[in-house]
A = this chain, B = another copy of it.
């Protein structure tokens, strides 16, 4: 499944990219504050720095903005993950680093993660699969890291456990954004990383 195209009336590809960047940037700010549905297209245009007419030269519908926003955020998160993760090393240490780095990315992009997290469901049946696919790919990255560790004999997990574990890691990262109302009162980011890593590795039962 490749990238979903959002048609524009304008031809100049360079310009399209530029305008859409402005658009997404403005939209994230607004969605953060009021959510997708309470944000108007006029506000998006104004925040992006151009007119409502221009906005519609680069999208067909309001929902396209949401898609672009989600798409952009996922791309950025993934890109930053890819830089940090070494899926081949297969050491506990590399797993820990992957988790820590991912949690840090979430922390730095918490607004974006939150927005995306809360608004994906507003995407049309048409656009949703593309975004979910991206999520699966990211989960897949953690799966790879785990697999590496298993292969190296550092940990022992069935395929099923690997997959679930990858989902857990992914969700625990998002948790830091969408449950910050509760977690932030209790932990710093570093504590959160340390605790989650520990629980993940050792479990809770006595040895």
Give the A interface residue count (CB, 8 A): 46
Q: Which of B118, B171, B179, B206 contacts A155 (CB 8 A)?
A: B206
Cβ contacts A188-207/B at 8 Å (1 or 0 each): 00011001101111111111
Please tell me which one of the listed residues B37, B154, B171, B206 contacts residue A37 in the complex, with CB atoms under 8 A apart: B37
- On whether A160 and B186 interact (CB within 8 A), knowing A118-B118, A179-B171, A199-B168, the answer reads yes
Q: A10 on the interface (CB 8 Å rule)? A: no
Q: How many copies does the complex hold?
A: 4
With an 8 A cutoff between CB atoms, is A17 at the interface? Answer: no
Query: In whole angstroms, how far apart are the Cα atoms of A89 and B54 in the complex?
Result: 62
State the CA gap A187–B163 with chains docked (Å).
10
Which residues on the B side are within 8 Å of A207 (C-beta)? 207
B202 and A182 form a contact (CB under 8 A): no
Are B175 and A171 in contact (CB-based, < 8 A)? Answer: yes
* Complex interface: chain B residues within 8 A of A35 (CB): 121-122
A112 to chain B, nearest CB (A): 15
- CB < 8 Å neighbour of A161 from B118, B165, B195: B195
Q: Tell yes or no: A127 within 8 A of B by CB.
A: no
Beyond the given pairs A118-B118, A118-B121, A153-B206, 19 more chain A to chain B contacts, judged by CB atoms under 8 angstroms and listed by A's residue number, are: A37-B122, A136-B182, A154-B205, A154-B206, A155-B206, A156-B204, A157-B204, A161-B198, A161-B199, A164-B192, A164-B196, A165-B199, A165-B204, A167-B179, A199-B200, A200-B203, A201-B204, A201-B205, A202-B203
